[in-house]
Structure 1
Amino acid sequence: MQLSFLAAVLLFGISADAFPAKHASPEPFLTQLDGSSWTLGNNVWNLTQESTYGVKLMYKGRDCVGDAAGHYVSYNGAASNLNWTSASITKRGTYRGKKFIDIAFTAVEGDMHWVVFAGMSGAYQYFVNRALPVLGEFRTLWRLDNVTFTRGRTDIKDEELPPLKDYIPQNKVQDETWLRPDGSGYITKYDFTAWSRNQDFFGVYGEGFGSWYINPGKDYYNGDHLKQELMVHRESATGDVVQLNMIHGTHFMASSKDLLPEGKIWGPWLWYLNDGDKEDVAQRAAEEFQSWPYKWLVDEEYHSRGIVTGRLTLSDGRPASNAAVFLGDPDPTKTTLDMGTDYYYTTYADKSGRFEIPNVRAGTYGLQAWSNGSSIADVSTTFLVNKVTVKKSKRTNLGHLTWKLSPKEKLFQIGEFDRYSYGFSHGGAPYQHGLVAACPADLTYTVGESQTSDWCFGQTYRGNWTVRFRTSGIRESAAPELIVSLAGYASGASSNIFANGVQLGNMTSGSAWLPSDPSLYRSATAAGEWHLLRFPFDKSLLKDGWNDLTFNMVRNTTWHGFMWDSVALEC
């Protein structure tokens, strides 16, 4: 009598470790080992999956997990790991001459799919929501062997991961952040942060091995153009090398609480294995971007997509050159960064204000736009057109859209309105912990004499930052208004604002209109959660000649404070 592999396992007690390192057939497979463990893969790689963790990844004759935790899915700050109760092949097919199987691992919260093609180095993955709670954080990830994988790569950073020996307990200064043993700076996992929607590919690699994520379709991500996330790092407690896939992330946001519809799909993305060759994965990434949306996925709603086009012109006749354009929730009640319930699309207008957003899922959206600097850097308002309907295989042409501007004149402006700290001293520097400490406690900026770079990107010390500016002949009908655009704000700081010694207002934590985000103390130097604050005041406070506007920091916390986008005075 010939026994099946599963029968042999049950009868003779063959362990999961006995499964061959290389499957003989090139065809993809799923094999159940016992009631709570399976193997899946093809002749290139295979993974032993237990009820929570994928514990053994065989590739090129090596277990790439080793003593690390392996592959798992979790939500809301790693408080909840998903537990798989069953696994099954939901579809078998052939695409472009290659056989594939779609495997679903089922948990109470939803189904994690692995789409394994014959001979492929890696697999496509996607997750289908069934009963996830209000999120927060949702991620898939690998924790891999730290001898095999020694470097991390995003589109803006590529270097060795810090050695575990440098994580000295007495040198810890905050969450996952340590002073280096030689005192030269800091080690922190947040230095491997990058802009989520800009990624071509990211992952970890070493001599002869590479594990990568390629996410060509990013419409399932929460947030807008300014969404940034931690991509890779070393787990300080164990030394595991971590490859994160933050498909619903919160690391640099003030808040994120999204109730998710049943059936929402995150993905598919490609998890890709190679020998660590970045040119190879770059070529593969280009192919994946060209192939998205994936035709092999059988899902009618996934393929129900249209195109949104339009042209933005400012009310003064200028084209909205290079404006950031975002397609998100209709009747918006959240900031664009905080949106995360459904699907979201980003692009930039061209120099004439035209934009096109292809492959938009059918549905109803709200379209917003804002200045991305350059020729419209003076624009502080946000454009909104609501209830944009997208239909399958149709073009939704919004036509010529007029973006209304403030009728007031600017007396001065420091920095561009673009929601970033670019242009200021240290603004947009490489991610690094504690850079805001390099900004001064006291600063004087003289309009017409000082340069944008004389203003620092963040204010964290108690002291006075003063703007000196001239006025003359202010018209009778003038109604002055100070505009403060913050690229980010971390709690524990409070600033009083004065015009010629008279207080106009206050910026402080604990207020509903200024929620805190972790950007400044988590290595960000360009943006966190954007805030636009307006402080109107009586024109009698201004005088002909020199005037002073002062930000008086009266309470501070180390590495916390204000990250600037722009400061302007209108009248």
Structure 2
Amino acid sequence: MRSSLFAAALGGLISNAFAAPTQTEPFLRQVDNQTWIIGNDVWNMTQGLKYGVKLYYKDRDLVGNAVGHYVSYNGAANDIAWSSATIAKKGTHEGTPFIDVKFTANDGDFHWVIFQGLAGAYQYFVNRNLPTLGEFRTLWRLDNNTFPNGKTDLHDKPLPKLADYLPENKVQDETWRTPDGTGYITKYDFSDFIRTQKYYGVYGDEVGSWYINAGKDYYNGNHLKQELMVHRESATGDAVQLNMVHGTHFQVSAVDVFPVGKMWGPWLWYLNDGSKSDADTRAASEFASWPYPWLDDEAYQSRGTVKGKLLLSDGRPAAGAAVFLGDNHPNKTALDMGSDYYYTTYADASGAFEIPHVRTTAAGYALQAWSAGAALADVTTHILFNDVHVTESGKTTDLGTLNWAVSKRTKLFQVGDFDRTSLGFAHGGDPYFGHAIIASCPENIVFRAATTGGNSTCSASKTSDWCYGQTYKGNYTISFRIPTLPDPAPTSANLIVSLAGYSTGASSVVLANGQPVGNLTSGAVGVDSTSGLLNDPSVYRSATAAGEWRLFEFPVPGALLKQGENEVTFQLTRNTTWRGFIWDSIVLEW
């Protein structure tokens, strides 16, 4: 009887919240110590201990039988439970009332900034006691009939039908054969590069739910950070809209300790009638407004600018270089950094760069830059410049001209642009995400490299004659010609092997004219956690362009090289289905 009365009372509150258009301002209402209702005159949601359900918008519940909204870390292992909810701030911005609703947990505080008349809300999380972890996310799991389609920068297509997920067709981690056996279904095919996103989400003919992350400094990783974005939940059919603010799906390791006060966000969760053009227009407005002036947080608002110019030691400007501002005196790769705040840009044609809205910090930053291909496709080195100080809000830190040392050696051959991706090779980024694409790469390749100096009677192979990956036992051989040996002949040459990604289970012997000069061994550990060949899941999780970048240099005795025809071979001696190498570039110089 008591439960019936409570259900009736709760139903009345929900009904009143559903009638929220009579409200002139955003609201927070407490139902009991584990239930709250938040919203405005456009939408409202019932928040329980962990999950936000009964999302009413345009006279319909957008969650239905799905799980709803929640915040979690380490996958689904820890869905955060909220102990209280309060209005942290009530104010106006440009004449529009808003409230900042704070949900509190032991791990930290999750905020909903709700403006009157806004279809959606700004959200952010402030750390208090998150453990050392890899995955941290917020997400919506929404009604599968209302939201049949997924949209990211790279993808815009229907989500797979739940009926097509047949248990007998499951082949690996969230991957199934299609019922007709002609292809695969996997949530990883909707992945994308997270820092390029303008807006993304799920939508149908009547409603769209979008994330617009105008500021991206709270993300872990660099320009090539890839993540899950949207997908179909295979067990229930929920339409999933993921906000992976700290993710690890396509890299070796990103286990970070977060300082107290680390803030993820704010980003905008936005509802509309499913119009992509409207979401695009709204995103343009959000990007122009970031950092948001209405957020009352001194550390968030205290920002400066970093600028400079990159000049190669051979006199060229570092045109188009990838520029990354991250941890000072780093002990992690740029992709693996994630404790604090990170900024990315590209240099212009003159090598100049400018990074606005950089948070001030006493710890300082380190600036890194590397080739992103094009004019720098031959540049195998990178630059690291520590102790970049951004300590005063509104000020510009001008680094002046930074001199970037490049190799002075003579290049014997190069296969592929040096850009930390497989673009240009067969199937590299074509498509960017697709399960088992690596199985299309052949067992053996003989690639004729262009001759540097002299004449050759053999025509050179095209870059696209080399496949983006190698997964089968066999030989990938580079044939090249040395027209004339120098006098004196160099005692050694340097073989540079740049991998755009690697998934464990494949090992290779590196041969120069049939003699071993090195190996690429599964599980090998280098000077840090990712410079060896530890697993990144890129290959078996559908990525074809990149995963975790690795760089290897193998000395080749000069006596092994001869005037005339020579070969370098990568002989795969151990393989595993849908595992192996993603190539970036291979260079031999002396």
Please say which of residues 345-354 and 20-29 is displaced more in the overlay: 20-29
Q: 3-state SS of the aligned residue for 1:372?
A: coil
How far apart in 2 are the matches of 1:14 and 1:281?
34
CA drift of 1:496 comes to: 0.3
Evaluate the alpha carbon distance shift between residue 32 and residue 484 of structure 1 in structure 2; reply closer, same or farther with a 3 A threshold: same
How far apart in 2 are the matches of 1:135 and 1:22?
41
How far apart in 2 are the matches of 1:118 and 1:77?
34
How far apart in 2 are the matches of 1:398 and 1:49?
48
How far apart in 2 are the matches of 1:370 and 1:273?
39
- Alignment of 1:522 with 2:535, yes or no, is no
How far apart in 2 are the matches of 1:213 and 1:41?
17
Alignment partner for residue 471 of structure 2, among 460, 464, 481? 460
The corresponding residue for 1:371 is 371
Scaled by the length of structure 2, the TM-score of the pair is 0.94
CA drift of 1:13 comes to: 3.7
Alignment partner for residue 470 of structure 1, among 452, 468, 481? 481
How far apart in 1 are the matches of 2:6 and 2:295?
35
The corresponding residue for 1:179 is 177
The corresponding residue for 1:442 is 444
**What does the per-residue CA deviation read over 1:382-439, in whole Å, with 9 as the maximum and x for residues that have no partner?**
1011010013111000001110011211100000110000110011112110000000
CA drift of 1:76 comes to: 1.0
Identity among equivalent positions (%) equals 61
CA contact (8 A) 1:22 1:45 kept: no
The corresponding residue for 2:413 is 412
The corresponding residue for 1:547 is 566
Unaligned runs of 5+ in 1: 1-8
**What does the per-residue CA deviation read over 1:344-383, in whole Å, with 9 as the maximum and x for residues that have no partner?**
0000000110000000001210000000111111111110
Scaled by the length of structure 1, the TM-score of the pair is 0.97
The corresponding residue for 1:128 is 126
CA contact (8 A) 2:208 2:274 kept: yes
> C-alpha root-mean-square deviation of aligned residues, in Å?
1.2
How far apart in 1 are the matches of 2:144 and 2:101?
28
Evaluate the alpha carbon distance shift between residue 46 and residue 546 of structure 1 in structure 2; reply closer, same or farther with a 3 A threshold: same
The corresponding residue for 1:486 is 499
Please say which of residues 400-409 and 67-76 is displaced more in the overlay: 400-409
How far apart in 1 are the matches of 2:485 and 2:426?
33
CA contact (8 A) 1:22 1:58 kept: no
The corresponding residue for 1:3 is none
CA drift of 1:161 comes to: 0.5
The corresponding residue for 1:505 is 518
How far apart in 2 are the matches of 1:375 and 1:529?
23
**What does the per-residue CA deviation read over 1:68-107, in whole Å, with 9 as the maximum and x for residues that have no partner?**
0000000012211100000000000000110000000001
The corresponding residue for 2:454 is none
The corresponding residue for 2:90 is 92
How far apart in 1 are the matches of 2:154 and 2:352?
28
Q: Which structure 2 residues correspond to residues 157-172 of structure 1 after superposition, within 5 A?
A: 157-172=155-170
How far apart in 2 are the matches of 1:11 and 1:514?
56
How far apart in 2 are the matches of 1:335 and 1:460?
25
CA drift of 1:17 comes to: 4.3
How far apart in 2 are the matches of 1:474 and 1:177?
54
CA contact (8 A) 1:29 1:40 kept: yes
CA drift of 1:537 comes to: 2.1
Evaluate the alpha carbon distance shift between residue 166 and residue 11 of structure 1 in structure 2; reply closer, same or farther with a 3 A threshold: closer
Unaligned runs of 5+ in 2: 451-459, 526-531
CA contact (8 A) 2:17 2:37 kept: no
CA drift of 1:334 comes to: 0.4
The corresponding residue for 1:5 is none
Q: 3-state SS of the aligned residue for 1:537?
A: strand
CA drift of 1:475 comes to: 4.1
CA drift of 1:22 comes to: 2.9
Q: 3-state SS of the aligned residue for 1:146?
A: coil
CA drift of 1:18 comes to: 3.8
Please say which of residues 477-486 and 80-89 is displaced more in the overlay: 477-486
How far apart in 1 are the matches of 2:188 and 2:25?
40
The corresponding residue for 1:432 is 434
**What does the per-residue CA deviation read over 1:43-65, in whole Å, with 9 as the maximum and x for residues that have no partner?**
10000000000021000010000
CA contact (8 A) 1:320 1:376 kept: yes
Alignment-mate amino acid for residue 372 of structure 1:
A
Q: Which structure 2 residues correspond to residues 2-17 of structure 1 after superposition, within 5 A?
A: 13-15=9-11, 17=14
How far apart in 2 are the matches of 1:157 and 1:475?
55
How far apart in 2 are the matches of 1:237 and 1:352?
52
Alignment-mate amino acid for residue 411 of structure 2:
K
CA drift of 1:474 comes to: 3.2
CA contact (8 A) 2:489 2:558 kept: no
How far apart in 1 are the matches of 2:224 and 2:486?
38
Alignment partner for residue 533 of structure 1, among 530, 543, 552? 552
Q: 3-state SS of the aligned residue for 1:165?
A: helix
How far apart in 2 are the matches of 1:83 and 1:242?
20
**What does the per-residue CA deviation read over 1:286-321, in whole Å, with 9 as the maximum and x for residues that have no partner?**
000000000000001101100001010100000000
**What does the per-residue CA deviation read over 1:151-196, in whole Å, with 9 as the maximum and x for residues that have no partner?**
0000111011111111111111111111111122111100111110
**What does the per-residue CA deviation read over 1:449-508, in whole Å, with 9 as the maximum and x for residues that have no partner?**
111110000000000111111112134362301000000000000000111111011101
The corresponding residue for 1:317 is 315
- Alignment of 1:273 with 2:271, yes or no, is yes
CA contact (8 A) 1:22 1:46 kept: no
The corresponding residue for 1:451 is 462
How far apart in 2 are the matches of 1:258 and 1:35?
33
Q: 3-state SS of the aligned residue for 1:388?
A: strand
